[in-house]
Every structure is written in C-alpha cells, then in structure tokens.
Structure 1
Amino acid sequence: MRISKGLRLAVVAGLLASAAACGGSGDSGGGSGSGGKVELTLLSHYSDGPSKDGLDKMIAQWNKDNPKIQVKAQVVKFDDLLTTMTVRQTGGRGADIVSAYGLWGGQLMKANVVAKVPDDIATKIKAEYSPAALGAVTTGDTLLGYPTELNTYVLFYNKKILAAAGITKPPTTWAELADDAKKTVKRDAKGNIQVEGLSLIQDGDNKSVHPFLSLLDSAGGKFLGADGTPQFDNDQGKAALKFEGDLAAAKASNTSISPTKQFRSGGVAMALQAGWWIGSLKTQMKDKYASDVGVTAIPGPTPGSKGSLAYGFFMGVNQRSKHADEAWKFLTWMNEHKASGGDVTETGKWLADQGLIPPRTADQAEYKKSLSDPNLAPIYDAATYAMAEPNQPGAYEAKTGLHNAIMTVLADGKNPDDALAQAAKAVKPQ
C-alpha cells in the first residue's frame, strides 16, 4: 500500500488530542445481539480490489464458523482512515478492531485508541514475525497489534537503459550508483532531462524521506532514537544527504520527475522505491515488465553494505471495545489459520497475492522458496535487514521536518550539513 500524498496527519493532530482527552468508557462500534451474539466491527482501508475481496472472504468464513461472534467490515479510503478512526473514537463510536499505518502507532497509543496486546498473544507475535515487521508496529516496548502489510525499499532499474549506457550489472556501492546515474541521464538540446539517472523521490507524503532513510540505513545510521531524539545529524546522515545533493547538483536526479509516472515509459533509469511498486509496474508495462525491469538491494557506501526502510500496517483492538476478548480471538484466528491445502496462513496468502511481503517469518520462508518473479527476492531479503520506520509520538512531525530539509538540498542546492542541522533542531520529542 503506497502512502498517499493526499494524507496530512497534521490536520488531525487536534482530533487525536481530543480523543485522548475524551477518556471515559464509551461504547465501541460493536454490540451484543439477541441470544448473546457479539457483533464486532473492523475498520480498515481495504476498500476495493483484491485487498477487500481477500479480507471479506476471511470474515465470511469466520462468521460462518462462529455464529456467536460476528464480524462486520467497515471500509474507508486510506486518505480518510486516520480521521475516521479518531473522530469516531471521540464520539464513542470507534470500531472494535482497527487497521492502521504503523507510523500512526505512537499517536494512537498516546490517544488511548489502541489497546495493549495481551501478553500471551504478544509473546507469540514476537516469536513468529520478522524483525522488520515487528519494528514497524512497535512503539517503545509496546507492540500495537498483529503486523499486516509490510513494505521494504529496494533499487528498481531499467535493464535496457543501463545496457545502452554500457552498464552490465546493477550498482553495488554508492560510487557505482552515482556513476551509473550520471551515465544514464539524458537531456535534450535545451538541457531538459529526458531520462533521469536516479530518482530519490517516492510517490507519497514526505516523498523524499523514505529513499533518504534507506541510504542512511545502508551507511549504518538511524533516524530517531527510542526517546524520539534526532539521530540523523551525524556523519552517516551527512554522507547520505551529500550523496543525494551531489547527484542533484550534477543534474542526474531531479525532484520534478515522478518515477511512478515516468519510469514505465523509459523516463527514469533507476529509482529507490517500495516493493508495492512491482504490482503497479506489471499492470502498467505488461510484457515490457519482464524485459525491462530489474530490482536489487540499495547499495551502501562500501562494498557489501546495503540498506532499506521497512514500513508496515497492523490490526489491533480498540481500547474502548466492550468485546476485547472476542476481538483478539478473531484476530488470532485470522492471522494464524492456514490457507486451504497450503503451508502458509490465509492472511499470508492474502498479502502475497497482492504483491506484499507476508510479515510472518514462516510465510515469508515458504514464499521465498518458489518466487516466480526474481524481482521479488531482493524485496523479501530486505525484510531481514531494513530499518523499521519509527512510530513514536512526534515521529510524523520529525519526518515532515526532515522532508522539508532534504528538499532544500535537492531542489535548491542548500548545504546538506546545514539542512540536517536545521531539521534536527525542529524535532520535538513527545
């Protein structure tokens, strides 16, 4: 699931504060029907396509087998999910089960929207899910729920563009990456870029941060500390942003070019993007996908080093649900029962069918045995070493500040060290 650029979390900051202040023991979206039947509501962004169909299928199976505990799906577009969640919570109408972006976790926890995972369930989750998936849905020492979607960042490249420039294999160090970007960039007679060498922009909110954090990870750096303090204004961060700034200065990278629009038509040679892009490129490029698209790990500054950013979603239980035990019972079944005739869980299959990485380690291992698309292998591998996106309170504001600083370097040529210092000063741990 790409993070929509229409989302603006700052708009709902006041709503989160209101939810925290509301307190009390208000009703959740669920209720008890006749004969002791419990009705649970599940709020998510799975509003269309295979994501909705797969979740609906699992809910229907559960409802058939558990007539005393019925689950009803409530869906909204991703752009509206956080606002819907917080507004309903404030009004005492929050869903029993919520699906949320991991970055929101700290704020949802602070606002008392998500409940603590029961110890026995938390122990199982921590033992059975990948480190990247767990990190993306853990705030401090608090696990927020069952990890669901998991995305990692990798280097996408156009094999034909690289070959035409005399490049026989994808880059394995920053030096090679920079050299390849400069070799593949093309301009017209007026100097306008026709083919961008390396895109450092993603399609979504804070569009410069995820690629930068992937490079930062490859250098051994961190974004935020456990207490929310900035960790990027150091040698690793300065090196990563200088690397980006040098490419922008050489006009091998340009923030005005959208990789998700121009890569498919040959307008971008390489791009740092999340694994969900595979599904889009297959749909958009059709037969050209197999011949033109390659994927590899994002290289680091030294041979053998590599990096990535992992971000995820989770499903948890509303702190104000009157039926928390039943909600956890459903979530446990949903995430643990095996798909018919298979060795993977139904949830793992549901996610893999969408081109996403199943967050459960055993599911990942099963799918890696028989990946039909070699481009998926680096995406799965990245889940073993990627930096998890921090999600404590204040993380989104820190991310926004870092984005603003990076853009002054990439678009305006500002000194990278000064930009990072400015971004670090703007971080306000909560």
Structure 2
Amino acid sequence: MRLHHGVRLAVVLGLLATGVACSGGDGSGGDGKVQLTVLSHYGSDPAKAGLDKMIAQWNQENPDVQVKSEVVKFDDLLTTLTVRQTGGRGADIVSAYGLWGGQLQKANVVAKVPDDVAQKIKASYSPAALGAVTTGDTLLGYPTELNTYALFYNKKILAAAGVTKPPATWAELADTAKKVAKRDAKGNVQVEGLSLIQDGDNKSAHPFLSLLDAAGGSFLGEDGTAQFAGEQGKAALGLEADLAGAKATDPSIMPTKQFRSGGVAMAIQAGWWVGSLKTQMAGKYSDVGVAPIPGPAAGSKGSLAYGFFMGVNQRSKHPDEAWKFLTWLNEHQGSAGVTGMGEYLAGMGLIPPRTADAATLKKSLDDPNLVPIYDAAEYAMPEPNLAGAYEAKTALHNAIMTVLADGKSPDEALTQAAKAVKPQ
C-alpha cells in the first residue's frame, strides 16, 4: 500500500485531548465474552471491506471472542499507537509499518511472538517479508503488506527512441534516460527520462536504496550505523547526479502524476503502482512495462522491500485470544489453496508475503508486469526497522535532495548524512 510523506507528530496533543478511537474497559463484556480490538489504517475500500469481511467470519465462528476493527489515517497511525499506549488505551492487535518496529519495540507496544507462532512464521514467509518485520533478532508479528520496487517504463516512448528492451545495466539505464528525455525551447520538461523522486515515503530514499542494493550495498548495519556512504552508495548517487546534470531526471516531477500522461519514460516505483496505473491509464496500460532494477554490471539487480505487520499489544489483557485470532486471520484457507489473507492482499495488487501463497498466485498472474515485482521478494533488501531507522532515512533523503536539486557532491552529501545517523 502506498506510503505517505511522513507522520504528523503534531497531532499528539489533539489525540490526547479527543481520545481518538479509544477502546475502554477491560476487554470483556458483561456476558463473559472477550472483546478484542484491531487498530489499522485500513479505512477505505477495498482494504476496509476485505478486512471487515474476514473479521465478520471470525466473529460468526467464534461467539465467545469477538473482534472489533478501529481505523485511523496512515499519517496518524504511529502517533496513535504511541499515544494510546502511554495512556493505557492501546488496541489488543496493532497493524504497523515495519520501519517503525524498533521504535514500537522500544516503547513496549508490541509483545513477544510466542515461540510456536514464530516458528511457523519463519518457516512460511519470504526472506524479504521476514526481514522487513524483524528488528535485530526479534520478530514483531505476522508479515502482512509487502511491496518491492521495480523499474516501470513506457514501452512506446522507449521504442520511439529505438530502445526495444528495458535497460539491464546502469550504463544502459543512463543512456536510455538521456536518449528519451525531452524539453521544449524554454527548457520545460516534456518527457523525463528517469524519475528518481516519489510523492510517497521520504520521497527519494526508496529508489536510491534499490539502486544501492543492485550495487551490493546496504543501508544500515545491524547496530544501526550508516552503511550507505561506502563506494556502492557513492556510485549509486553518482549515477543519479549524472542524470540530474544531464537534465534526464528532474526532482520537481512526480511520476504518479506525469507517467500516465506520457511525461515520464521510466520510474523506480513500488509494486502497488500497478493497480493505480491500470485504473488511471485504462486502455493505455498496455504501454507499461516492468523490469528488475539493474545494477552496474549485466545480471546484477536490486530492490527495496518494505512491509507491514500485525502484532499483539504488550498490554493486551487477552494475549492468548489475540494470538489465536491473529493466527487464524493469517493462516485460514481461502480458495484455490491460498490463505484468506493472501487473497485479500493479492486483490489489492500487493505481494502475499507467505511463500506458498505467492508461488500459487504467481502461476495464474494475468499481468506479466507483476512477475518481476513478485520475483523481487526473493532478493530485495528488506528495509531496516531498528530504533532510529526512520530518522536515518530522513537524513538520507535530505542528502539525496541536495544532490539532485542543488548539485551538491554525492560523496560529500552521503558523508555528511552518515555522520548524522545516530544508532539508538
């Protein structure tokens, strides 16, 4: 699911004052039934309808353990999780962005996953999904949403420039981007070669990290120290700087707006974009191609995987029932050998994180553009979620923007950003 620009921590006072989405009481009804609450950002369809349907099925089959869904906007989710926890009003089950894992763990929001549940999860989910919801050696919960990054391109624009297949190396990527880029007599961009900025989470960080992964680099070490300022990072940002200098990329252009109208030839973007482009472009969606993000050498490729998870609140008064529901939610069978959660996620254009679900669904994909997105789950760099990872990504984003927008030296920008990263 699309990630937004940031979390508005300024709403803390408002949440405290109004008690947004508070669940009161001890979680037990007067008739002895257990009442569980699930807090998520699934407030609009198809996400809301799909989750509500599964909860209704559980409630019908389990009259003594009833589950209620509570929803806040994504931009308010982290703040709500932490504020409600401080006030002792946290939901029994929480859905959260993997990047926040270390922060939520430090704030004692998420409970330890029971050993038997953890064993099942570790045996059943893809490496990228597990990595995105594991902090250090600690699994945070069931992986749910999973997105990987890939190279989206407009077949018609590339073909008009004599390019018959997507770039397979950085040299080809740069050459193609420069070849297809167009500006009018006044210098206004008509076609951007390669988009490197997103109107999503921390804008430029995810495309850079995908290129970094393709070069064999990493974002943060296991201790939270910056690893992105090494030779691979400097090479990746050097590639971006070269494209910016050649006016083949422009940080003011948002691909989510201009790609569909032919104003962007290529973009490094997350897999959820497939569903959006199908809706926005209708018949012109046939012009869209998706390929792995290339690395410096032929055969090298990379991606970033980010995920969400569902875990149990450390303060839940009914942890056993919460884990029982959460296990059912993620493991009950739907149709055609795929879990209900797998069907739910695939229906929204997301990669089911359970390996067996993804393998089964991949055999019947009706859109070849989804294949490289599914494949990337096996090799993508999981977004780290140590405490301080969010701040580290913000520092990285700021460094990248000084290069793309202001022409700063990539080496200098990354070195300064690395010094700003403080392991917690």
Given the two structures, how large is their TM-score scaled by the length of structure 1?
0.95
Q: Report if aligned partners of 2:11, 2:76 keep a CA contact under 8 Å in 1.
A: no
Secondary structure at the aligned position of 1:32 is classed as coil
Q: Which runs of 4+ in 1 moved over 6 A?
A: 12-15
- For the residues of structure 2 that align with 1:360 and 1:151, how far apart are their CA atoms? 13
Aligned ranges 1:70-81 → 2 under 5 Å:
70-81=66-77
- Tell me what 1:305 maps to: 300
- For the residues of structure 1 that align with 2:26 and 2:170, how far apart are their CA atoms? 52
- Tell me what 1:103 maps to: 99
- Tell me what 2:406 maps to: 412
Q: Does 1:59 align with 2:68?
A: no
2:361 to 355, 367, 382: 367
- For the residues of structure 1 that align with 2:13 and 2:419, how far apart are their CA atoms? 23
Q: Report if aligned partners of 1:30, 1:40 keep a CA contact under 8 Å in 2.
A: no
- For the residues of structure 2 that align with 1:358 and 1:29, how far apart are their CA atoms? 35
Letter in 2 for 1:53: A
- For the residues of structure 2 that align with 1:333 and 1:56, how far apart are their CA atoms? 14
- Tell me what 2:150 maps to: 154
Deviation string for 1:348-400 (max 9, x for gaps)? 00000000000000000001111100000000000000000010000011000
Shift of the alpha carbon at 1:9? 6.1
Letter in 2 for 1:277: W
Secondary structure at the aligned position of 1:154 is classed as strand
Give 5+ residue unaligned stretches, structure 2: 17-22
- Tell me what 1:4 maps to: 4
Q: Report if aligned partners of 2:12, 2:79 keep a CA contact under 8 Å in 1.
A: no
Aligned ranges 1:174-185 → 2 under 5 Å:
174-185=170-181
Shift of the alpha carbon at 1:307? 0.2
Deviation string for 1:280-299 (max 9, x for gaps)? 10110011102x10000000
Q: Does 1:383 align with 2:382?
A: no
Q: Report if aligned partners of 1:28, 1:95 keep a CA contact under 8 Å in 2.
A: no
Shift of the alpha carbon at 1:230? 0.4
Q: Does 1:135 align with 2:131?
A: yes
- Tell me what 1:330 maps to: 325
Given the two structures, how large is their TM-score scaled by the length of structure 2?
0.96
Q: Does 1:264 align with 2:264?
A: no
Secondary structure at the aligned position of 2:81 is classed as helix
1:166 to 158, 162, 165: 162
Secondary structure at the aligned position of 1:178 is classed as helix
Letter in 2 for 1:300: G
Q: Percent identity?
A: 78
- Tell me what 2:219 maps to: 223
- Tell me what 1:248 maps to: 244
After superposition, the Cα gap between the structure-2 partners of 1:96 and 1:61, relative to the gap in structure 1 and judged at 3 Å, is same
- Tell me what 2:310 maps to: 315
Secondary structure at the aligned position of 1:163 is classed as helix
- Tell me what 1:24 maps to: none
- For the residues of structure 2 that align with 1:9 and 1:429, how far apart are their CA atoms? 23
- For the residues of structure 2 that align with 1:35 and 1:136, how far apart are their CA atoms? 40
Shift of the alpha carbon at 1:190? 1.1
Shift of the alpha carbon at 1:13? 9.7
Secondary structure at the aligned position of 2:78 is classed as helix
- Tell me what 1:206 maps to: 202
CA RMSD of aligned residues (A): 1.6
Letter in 2 for 1:264: R
Q: Report if aligned partners of 1:29, 1:41 keep a CA contact under 8 Å in 2.
A: no
- For the residues of structure 1 that align with 2:64 and 2:138, how far apart are their CA atoms? 31
